[in-house]
Every structure is written in structure tokens, then in C-alpha cells.
Amino acid sequence: MTPDAQQRIENLVQSNKIMVFMKGNKLMPQCGFSNNVVQILNVLGVPYETCDVLSDPEIRQGIKEYSNWPTIPQVYVNGEFLGGSDILIELYQKGELQQMVEVALAL
């Protein structure tokens, strides 16, 4: 990963309470897994930002190295990597995701 890509990723992760690296954006997800994440966050009614990895190949590859996680989407809450679609679904179903985002947004 280039230093520029790493800096851009770090800036996005640190400057947004909830940051999603995904295919497409929150208005038009470009894959089912990204859509799952968007739907969950929309149901929770929390503010979040997205970064479309399809429009930036450097970020698309860099985010995988940054998190040491091979798949997209990737969700960060308060600067910490949570996981992808499956993990978000699981946390949501257990009721843990709502609490995590509430705590993050309260800080």
C-alpha cells in the first residue's frame, strides 16, 4: 500500500465515527454484501460515511492491507475495525451493534 493510500484511509477512519468501505455508496450499493451493511445502518438510523472502493483501486487494495481483512465491505466504528457484512449481521441480530454505535456516537 502506498503511503498516500494509507494516509487517506487513516483520515477517513479517524474523521468519521462510522465509516464503511464498500462497493458503491450508501445511495447505490453495488453488491449484496455492501447493501446488507447499508440496510442495517439505515435501520439503526445512525449517521455514517461510505467510501466507494470501486472508484479508487488504490483504496480498494489498501483497505485490505490496512485491516488485514480480505473482503469488502469493511466497517469501522470509532476508528476500530468491526468486520464485514456477516459480522455486522451477527452483531445486529444479537442487539450488540446498536449499543456499539450509540456508545461511539456519544463520545
Domain ranges of the chain: 3-106
pLDDT computed for residue 48 by the predictor: 96
Q: How many CB atoms lie within 10 A of CB 45?
A: 8
pLDDT at 107 over 90: no
Give the H or E element holding residue 5.
helix 3-15
pLDDT at 78 over 90: yes
Question: What is the phi-psi region of residue 2: left when phi exceeds 0, alpha when psi lies from -120 to 50, beta otherwise?
Answer: beta
Average pLDDT, the chain: 95
Looking at domain 3-106, its CATH superfamily turns out to be Glutaredoxin (3.40.30.10)
Output the CA torsion sign for 73, 74, 76, 79. Answer: negative
Question: What is the phi-psi region of residue 51: left when phi exceeds 0, alpha when psi lies from -120 to 50, beta otherwise?
Answer: beta
Rounded to an integer, the average pLDDT of 44-59 is: 95
Q: Output the pTM of the full model.
A: 0.94
